[in-house]
Chain A
Amino acid sequence: MKFRRKQTNRLMLKRQPVKPSRGIFTRRALIVLAAQAGVLGVLGKRLYDLQVVNGGHLKELAARNRTSKRLLAPARGLISDRFGVQLAGNKENWRALLMPEETTDIQATIARFNQIVPLDERDHARIERDLRHVRKYVPVALKDFLTWDDMARIELNAPSLPGVLVDVGSTRLYPLGPLLAHIVGYVAPPNEHDVATSPMMALPGMRAGRAGIEQTQDLALRGQPGSVEMEVNSLGRVMGEMDRVDGQQGDEIALTIDAGLQQMVLNRIGDQSASAVVMDCRNGEVLAMVSTPSFDPSLFDSGVSHAQWIEWTNNERTPLINKAVSGVYPPGSTFKPAVALAALKSGGLSPQDRFFCPGHYDMGGVRFHCWSRWGHGSIDMQQALMYSCDVYFYQAARKIGMDPIKDMANGFGLGTKLGIELPHIRPGVIPTPDWRRKHGFHWNGGDTVNAGIGQGFVQVTPLELATYVSRIASGRNVEPHLVRRVNETASDKTALDAAPPMDVEAKHLNVIRQGMFDVVNAHRGTAPKAKLNIPGVQMAGKTGSAQVRRVSRALRESGHFNSMALPWEDRPHALFICFAPYDAPRYAVAVVIEHGNAGADAAAPLARDIMTDALMRDPVNHIHEPGQTVAEAD
């Protein structure tokens, strides 16, 4: 495009006032107009190709033989444990489908089908819903789980059932059922929202993850749908496949869990309402995570009955809730190592500083009791941990205040949102005066004193406790995780001792570890029952009992206070955290028994047995045959 402007014109313009010249504008506007016309012309031509040239071809094809395109739901990815034991798989499911576009009268066909294979109310409701929401070439599932008998009858009546076909789909199978229900989770038929966000969820047989790994890794597990294009004659008979694109099965996910260890922990807990977590303290792999009671995840695949749901939700022992990540409990004395570390780091106390414990601590006219009525005398930090002396920690907390305690506890994972691959995680709470103010209350000195022994407003989850003890044991900031491998790609968290070191001095950690060693191994420790029965291997730990109800002074002083006499829901929770081997820590275990009364009596032996089993199996270093169990050490 050339725009010739005369030189003279320009000179003339320089000399006198001018009107903006129309010439240039007109020329350029015409160019714009030509471009617009060109674009619209090209679009018109393109539309002609789409509609008339190709469209005519399609129409002609439809007149003779129609093609019918069906999408194939991909198989959901498998979930296995670290040794390849299958935790979630798929099983065949023969079902009857209806292709809406291949039948003239949908309702009549359904009614006819109902005579051959009875459908119940729920089936009808689901079919109605699917027919409204599904695309024409997406078949609607009429009935799942057909028997051979049903299939024979359908086959026999095929001529009167246009558009009905039988094919094999898959349902989700959980071979170990309740054992890993809280971790693996479960699937359910997709809801409207799932279908809106991902059209392939409308395919019959697709399932959406609704809890656990099934939910958090849902996208990876879904896979890619395939499609098959079939040639259908005017009578609706399939003449043959024209084109088949196979779908892609979802990713296979291997967890860090050792199903054998998990089974042992579950057996050992028995029918108590409890939660236990076993973690590799060198890299944060969760080897076992048990929450009892559990539930059967297979029930969700086709939708849970109302009665079953009511039973689960009304049960005071909350089977549907994974207590390991969503159950919050006061940590009780298991919190003391964190308080001690905070005192050392802030410089408020040295390991040699002593406090005198007369069996109680008075502050502002209130008497705080030690668990030992006779007191512990004058003790230093290591002894205070060994005896689990309350008075020492009342005073330690009072001395340094709440903020350093909170920072330390958060650093060790308590009261923080851990990045484990599970949904519905409920972090605990480490209270501070600010937090209390936010909720409209005043914080007073007594609250700090109470928090010093892990009572009052302090709340943690078992997973947080396991993370905390792992970090004490390894001195590294390990992060708990469950996914070990996706297809062939190992998680980048599997490396041992790769986590960054904790921001705590090694000598401080050693004081804590020694105190925890004494808890188990010194003859005056609070948990001598937790000694390991393995030669040359020692465990270090910490007991805890978390009160759920205030013990009145009168009751305490009458000397007849016995919490076992309380009703179950008023007894304190029993807690125990531990790691072993002491000289080269490998595993950390945290146990919480709801209303188990005393950590030393109920939780410590349980933790000892779990730790023994873990050390004997050694799932981290050992590749043993799956399913093989180790004889329990008595």
Chain B
Amino acid sequence: MNWQKRLWRPESSFRLMAKLLQVNWLYVLLICALAGVGYLALYSAGGGSAKPFAGPQAVRFGFGLLMMVLVALLSPRVLRWLSVPIYLLSITLLGLVLRMGHVGKGAERWISLGGMQFQPSEFAKIALVLALASWFYRIDPVRMGNPLRLIPPALMVLLPVALVLKEPNLGTGVIIGVIGATMFFSAGMRLWQILILVAPIPFLGKFVYAHLHDYQKARIDTFLHPEHDPLGAGYNIIQSKIALGSGGMWGEGYLRGTQGQLNFLPEKQTDFIFTMIGEEWGYAGAVSVIALLGILVLGGMLISLRSRNQFGRLLALGISVDFFMYCAVNLSMVMGVIPVGGVPLPLVSYGGSAMLTMMFGFGLLLSTWVHRNEKDRPTSDVAE
């Protein structure tokens, strides 16, 4: 087979070592720092014990780290070749979850894989970034004007968005949409085209609102008037704000969060883990965590800018935007800025699938760094 020759070049162990040295270990260290923050927070959420959350999460992180480094060694060529099956797999899983997902919290979004609960919508984002990068890398940003080149990737974005919204998972659906849009923008889509696409959004919003599930409408209404429903849907938001407020500047001290309030904060170890950090470590600690997230985003964007091939640039940018979106949506949710749920804080919230898919994404980011010096071959000019 031809592809085998192209893909499999026996590399000496020496070359592998050289590649390992090329991995951006500083960035890996930052990732570990974030996971460390997660470990401390989960330790506290577990009532000052590693048992329920922190321990298993640390074990998963170990696996994730190994996977991440392995992915970092894959060359862009291999990644491009893998992008198609990975994308198809993610779509299949999304379809599957609609058919036979576990009903969790009024929404079907989980699949059991070998005893582990898996959330395909997490995986779909990474798969989409990879697929879009594989599509756009061969197109000169200057030549993005041709609409025919935009239709396939647009479908690539809309398919998972539609499936995720059907789950229904509003938060993740919007995130996927934004990631897709950013990739288009960075790949050099014309501004007038972007305007055409953005203009109908208000109307779409009305239409979508009409088709939302009742509990999602409740979320939005509650968000606008949390005091109307202090015990139902507004409860989380109010409690989260109270907990953050009682943290003040310096916090109540590690493991000293007012357990009474937080014990009844649903999802305190998943969606609202940041509330706990804010309460115990105060603004000083919380803003440091935000800064760490910001540095990780910046690092990813720098890797993107330093890459000398278009595929790597787009891939790294997509992963950074993915990570950023997660952080931004989760933080906004915790502070009561936007009314969604079900979006974890990457590497900090308790949960396997979100963490491992993010680590896979970071692996792609590091791979871009390792292979940053591969240059694009000149593409022949395609007649438009």
Contact = CB atoms under 8 A, between A and B. Distances in A.
A54 B375 CA distance: 53
Contacts of A101: 260
A309 interface: no
Contacts of B248: 51-52, 55-56, 58-59
A10 B127 CA distance: 34
A84 interface: no
Given A3-B191, A51-B249, A44 B317 contact: no
A58 B140 contact: no
B294 A37 contact: yes
Contacts of B381: 13-14, 16-18
Given A25-B141, A47-B286, A58-B245, A19 B376 contact: yes
A104 interface: no
Interface stretch (A27-35, A170-178, A328-336, A524-532): A27-35
Interface residues of B, number: 61
Given A19-B378, A43-B332, A101-B260, A51 B245 contact: yes
Given A20-B310, A25-B186, A136-B258, A199 B263 contact: no
Nearest to B137: A20
B185 A20 contact: no
Interface residues of A, number: 51
A40 B293 contact: yes
B25 interface: no
A29 B301 contact: yes
A20 B141 contact: yes
Contact of A26 (B297, B305, B327, B375): B305
B231 A200 contact: yes
Contacts of B286: 47, 51
A40 B317 contact: no
Contacts of B186: 25, 28-29, 32
B231 A20 contact: no
Contacts of A13: 140, 142-143, 381
B187 to A, nearest CB: 8
Chain B interface mostly: helix
Contacts of B282: 51
Given A20-B139, A43-B331, A199-B232, A36 B185 contact: no
A227 B293 CA distance: 39
Contacts of B293: 40
Contacts of B231: 71, 198-200, 225
Contacts of A135: 260-261, 263-264
A67 to B, nearest CB: 11
Interface in A517-539: none
A562 interface: no
Interface in B23-41: none
Contacts of A200: 231-232
Contacts of B368: none
Contacts of B232: 198-200
A24 B260 contact: no
A5 B290 CA distance: 37
A51 B278 contact: yes
Contact of A33 (B188, B247, B301): B301
A44 B182 CA distance: 23
A473 to B, nearest CB: 40
Contact of A51 (B187, B191, B283, B380): B283
A630 interface: no
A352 to B, nearest CB: 57
B335 interface: yes
B191 A36 contact: no
Contacts of A52: 248-249, 283
B304 A56 contact: no
B233 to A, nearest CB: 10
A589 to B, nearest CB: 41
Interface of A: 1, 3, 5, 9-10, 13-14, 16-22, 24-26, 28-33, 36-37, 39-40, 43-44, 46-48, 50-52, 54-56, 58-59, 71, 100-101, 135-137, 198-200, 225, 227
7 contacts: A25-B186, A25-B187, A36-B297, A39-B328, A43-B290, A55-B244, A199-B231
Given A10-B142, A19-B378, 7 more contacts: A24-B142, A29-B186, A29-B301, A30-B305, A51-B282, A71-B231, A199-B235
